[in-house]
Structure 1
Amino acid sequence: MAAQAMALLREVTRLEAPLEELRALQSVVQAVPLSELREQAADLRLGPLFSLLDEHNREQTTLCVSILERLLQAVEPIHVARNLRVDLQKGLTHRDDSVKILVLSQIGRIVENSEAVPEILNNAELLKQIVYCIGGENLSVAEAAIKSLSRISLTQAGLEALFESNLLDDLKNVMKTNDIVRYRVYELIVKISSVSSESLNYCTTSGLVTQLLRELTGDDVLVRSTCIEMVTSLACTQHGRQYLAQEGVIDQVSNIIVGADSDPFSGFYLPGFVKFFGNLAVMDSPQQICERYPVFLEKVFEMTESQDPTMIGVAVDTVGVLGSSVEGKQVLQKAGTRFERLLMRIGHQAKNASTELKIRCLDAVSSLLYLPPEQQTDDLLRMTESWFSSLSRDSLELFRGISNQPFPELHCAALKVFTAIANQPWAQKLMFNSPGFIEYVMDRSVERDKVSKDSKYELVKALANSKTIAEIFGNQNYLRLRAYLSEGPYYVKSVATTAVEGAE
């Protein structure tokens, strides 16, 4: 069959209008195993196929793209880079986006290959065309170009090619296309900057990072909301955080939050700014961030009292992230009665809000209440018990009621709350004393789908593996939990049937 494909390929490249032959070739190459095509790779002449990418014949182009996608998989990246460099270059200027995506996927293979990547770096015109692909209307084309350029920048030679040549001017020209394209270039710069201090240094020297930060702290509220997401990505690296701190960016963001109360348009950027500090707190120290920038936690508490579901959602998410560590829990505990009111608010939203916000509240509660066994001091256990009680008049019944709703996402989110507290003695006592709760845990018929079965199994596992469960639940219930655990999440009890003579 591989021989048939080779014969058809030779025939196709001799014809001017080979539609019928292309259809036949497409069918054959899809049927030939890739291993067989690889054996013929040395004889594959793909240049003529590239020349058949006719801008005026959509079907012919589509067929050629499909055939090339398959055949190129059989060719080593180094051979693609060396033997098809002119075809790749032409492909990036083709009017059909499917051709650009085909070429960029091959460039993606080449830049992943250490032997082949110099072929790209030494081709200034090809690099220029990749840069200009960022400015295209098709998002898939732009994303593929960004991915390739960020991969190229992982080497010293790649950084020099991007930032110490005319390519930097091309990058700045592309940015002028429109706002969307400018943000795409910022996205690329942040990806590169996040790799290492050296990469960040190249990007700052180019002036593009400074330009991004200037827009972040500028007066355009919509631009702020977009730029803060990128700056947050940079802040996820230690060298990125150090740079932002040295440049005074973190202080500037804090000051903008302080002034947000008098800004009627603050709703556009506040959620992003709060997320930024939430990430800082997780990456560094919750206590240090909250002490140095008290406006952050103050704004989170304010946002939970908002009538805007977007603000509430961001605040709830932030509290969950902040309270995922013991240090973060202790920071929140210091807020005293104010944090208790926040917990009541979360409990209210978990019961009454939209499904999406309910799930976010349940996820936050799970993060807040979870304590690894090795961190379960008496003080922390009293704290989580107090928090659980603050959520509702009868918090166990609240979450049990949510878990009985016929929505898998809500059901699993409620089970996640039970799993979070399942290894804490106070919670085990609550569960044991709640009528029907143990039966609910052991009842497999409640779970109708795989995700729900997996969630219930995680709850059973957390209970069964707890050191205090046998004492609190009793040996019989403990053995039932161990049996459930050994049977696995998808066990179905077989029902024996006996045939009775004469029965219908």
Structure 2
Amino acid sequence: MAASVERLLNEISSVDDPVEELQGLKTALYSIPISTLGDSVSGQRLGVIFALLNSNSREQVELCVDILERILMALSPIHLVRMYRAELEGGVQHNNEAVKILALTLIGRILEHPKAITEILKSSDVLCAVIRAIGEEKISVAEQAIKSLCKLTHSKAGLDKLFQPDLLNTIKEVMVVSDVVRYRIYELVVKVSSVSPSSFTYCVDSGLISQLLGELTGDDIVIRVTAVEMVTNLAQSLHGRTFLTHEGIMDQISNMIRGAETDPFSSLYLPGLVKFFGNVAIMDSPQQVCETYPAFQNKVFEMALGSDPAMIGVALDTLGLLGSTVEGKQVLHKTGDKFKAVLVRMSHFANTEATEVRVRSLEAIAQLLTLQPEQQTEDLLALTESWFHLLSKQPLDMIHKISTQPFPELHVCAFRIFTAIASQPWGQRLIISTPGFMEFVLDRSTSPTKDAKDAKFELVGALVSSSSATEMLGSQNCLRLKTYLREGPYYVTAMAAVGTEGAN
């Protein structure tokens, strides 16, 4: 097979229009199993294929990319860097998007290989080319460059190299290309900083983290919005949150929430600020965050009770996030009538607003009502039951009506609420005491879509797995539910054939 590949390469080099020969080589390469392809082509000279990339023929370039991808992906990273370093650098600087992405992907393979990376760290040219690719117009090229560079930072040697003066200066040169490119660099920095406390220290020492944080108070509102998103990603790691607290950024963001009332442009960045604290709360401690930064919790309630659909949606998502934990439920409960008013409003949204707001409201309610078996203390069961009954005079009927409306996404969300209460004794008591509800659960025809069938199957599973199910629902109902579970979500009852012999 290696001989046939060599023959095809020779044929390609001897013709003026090699498209047909390239197609033949591609077909031959794809007929060789990838597991053995590396051995078959490792000794081949691919200069002719690399040379053919410099063409105005789109078809020719695409065939060359397919051929090179098949061959080079089969080679070891060490072989790649030793044999094709210059070609890969040239590929990053090529004018064709597919060529750039292939070269960047291959460089990424080299950078994540513990031995191959030592070869590429000897030269800055390739890495500088990758950094400059972040400034490319095509976002797909920039994203692949960022992805490949992130692999460089998984070792101390790689971190040392990336933050050496020559590469760091290249990074800063690329940042001035445009606001968009600057934020791509921030994206890289945030991803690198999340790898480990050590990588975070490199980013801080480079000055790039401080530059990002300075964007939070910039005059350009659009830039400020993007900065908030970046800082939110920075807070995903414990060392990131510790740094933000130590540097006073948490207080700064809290003050931005307070000052939003007097800023006519606050609607642009306020959702991001709320999401920031919501994420921090769920990763650390809802109680600590809400007590330390009361402006956050107050603003979430204010947004939920307001009239701006965009703000309402963010508030609903945040409340669901907070309420997904026991500590978050307790924090919300401590606010007393304030949260009760919000919960009543959530019920209103679930029934009357646009579909997107209804879905987000139902999702949040399901999270608020969910308790894992080990969390079902007497106090918490009483809490979720009281919240459920705040939704309506007949809350089960209300959610049931939503689940029968001709909107598949609402149907699924309603079943998530049923599932949330199905594992709790008070919910089972309510389900069995509601006429016709158990029949509704067991009736497969009420779930027309795949997602709805899956959601109902989860509900049945929650009922069956509860330790209190037999006592609350009765052994006969439990037997029917177990049969449903055993048959699976997509079971269809077979219809007996009716004989028609002799019928006219």
> TM-score, normalising length from structure 1?
0.97
Q: State the partner residue of 2:71.
A: 71
2:401 corresponds in structure 1 to 401
Retained in 2: the 8 A contact 1:55–1:94?
Answer: no
Map 1:325-344 → 2, pairs under 5 A? 325-344=325-344
Supply the distance in 1 between the matched residues of 2:387 and 2:47 (Cα, whole angstroms): 68
- Asked if residue 198 in structure 1 is aligned to residue 201 in structure 2, the reply is no
Between 158-167 and 295-304, the greater mean CA deviation after superposition? 158-167
What is the distance in 1 between the residues matched to 2:219 and 2:254? 15
Pair 359,5 (structure 1): closer, same or farther in 2 beyond 3 Å: farther
Instruction: Tell me if the contact between 2:316 and 2:361 (Cα under 8 Å) persists in the aligned partners.
Output: yes
Distance across 2 between alignment mates of 1:40 and 1:449: 50
How many Å separate the matches in 2 of 1:202 and 1:402?
53
Q: What does the per-residue CA deviation read over 1:376-401, in whole Å, with 9 as the maximum and x for residues that have no partner?
A: 11211111111111122322122212
- For 1:396, give the aligned amino acid: L
Identical-pair percentage: 53
Cross-structure match for 1:224:
224
> SS in structure 2 opposite 1:497?
coil
Q: Offset at 1:409?
A: 2.0
The answer (yes or no) to whether the contact 1:111–1:148 under 8 Å persists in 2 is yes
Using the TM superposition, give the Cα deviation of residue 442 of structure 1 relative to its aligned residue in structure 2, in angstroms: 0.5
Q: How many residues align?
A: 504
Matches within 5 A, 1:304-319: 304-319=304-319
In 2, distance between residues paired with 1:190 and 1:55? 38
Match of 1:452 in 2: 452
Q: Deviations over 1:38-69 (max 9, x none)?
A: 34032332232111102422221111112112
Verify the 8 A CA contact 2:235 2:280 in the aligned structure 1.
yes
- Secondary structure of the 1:229 match is helix
Take 2:35 and 2:262, find their aligned partners in 1: how far apart are those partners?
66
Matched-pair contact (CA < 8 Å) for 1:186–1:208: yes
The answer on 1:345 being equivalent to 2:345 is yes
- For residues 71-470 of structure 1, what are the structure 2 equivalents within 5 Å? 71-470=71-470
AA matched with 2:343:
L
Distance 1:498 1:17 in 2: 68
Find the counterpart in structure 1 of residue 42 from structure 2.
Answer: 42
Q: Alpha carbon RMSD of aligned pairs, Å?
A: 1.6
Aligned equivalents of 2:5, 2:495: Cα separation in 1: 55
Q: Secondary structure at the match of 1:491?
A: coil
- Counterpart for residue 32 of structure 1: 32
The answer to whether structure 1 residue 493 and structure 2 residue 493 are counterparts is: yes
More off after superposition, 109-118 vs 240-249: 109-118
> For the Cα contact (< 8 Å) 2:2–2:41, is it kept in 1?
no
Residue 199 of structure 1: CA displacement?
0.8
Larger mean CA deviation between 236-245 and 409-418 belongs to 409-418
Compute the displacement of 1:435 (Å): 2.1
Deviation string for 1:148-167 (max 9, x for gaps)? Answer: 11110111011111112300
Worse-superposed segment, 483-492 or 381-390: 483-492
CA deviation vs aligned residue, 1:236-282 (integer Å, no higher than 9, x gap): 11110110011000001111111111111100110000000011111
CA distance in structure 1 between the partners assigned to 2:435 and 2:44 by the alignment: 73
Q: Is the 8 A contact 1:431 1:438 kept in 2?
A: yes
Matches of 2:408 and 2:6, distance apart in 1 = 52
Using the TM superposition, name which of 389-398 and 124-133 deviates more: 389-398
Q: Distance in 1 between matches of 2:55 and 2:184?
A: 27
Distance in 2 separating the partners of 1:11 and 1:96: 25
The alpha carbon displacement at 1:29 in A equals 2.5
Q: Supply the AA of the counterpart residue of 1:48.
A: V
**Between 68-77 and 4-13, the greater mean CA deviation after superposition:** 4-13
Structure 2: where are the runs of 5+ without partners? none
User: Matched residue of 2:42: which SS?
Assistant: helix
Find the aligned partners of 1:291 and 1:53 in 2 and give their Cα distance.
Answer: 61
Amino acid across the alignment from 1:354: A
Letter in 2 for 1:426: W
1:2–1:36: 8 Å Cα contact kept in structure 2? no
Contact 1:254 1:295 in 2 (8 A): yes
Q: Which TM-score applies when normalising by structure 2? A: 0.97
Residue 201 of structure 1: CA displacement? 0.9
Instruction: Return the letter of the residue paired with 1:488.
Output: G
* 8 Å contact from structure 2 (residues 9, 48) kept in 1: no
* Structure 1: gaps (5+ residues): none
Paired residue secondary structure (1:128): helix
Measure, in 1, the Cα distance between the counterparts of 2:111 and 2:452: 42
The Cα shift of 1:299 comes to: 0.2
Shift in CA distance, 38/448, structure 1 to aligned 2, threshold 3 Å: farther
How far the C-alpha of 1:448 sits from its partner, in A, is 2.9
Matches of 1:165 and 1:362 in 2, distance apart?
A: 53
Q: Distance in 2 between matches of 1:355 and 1:122?
A: 57
Q: What's the offset of the Cα at 1:498?
A: 5.2
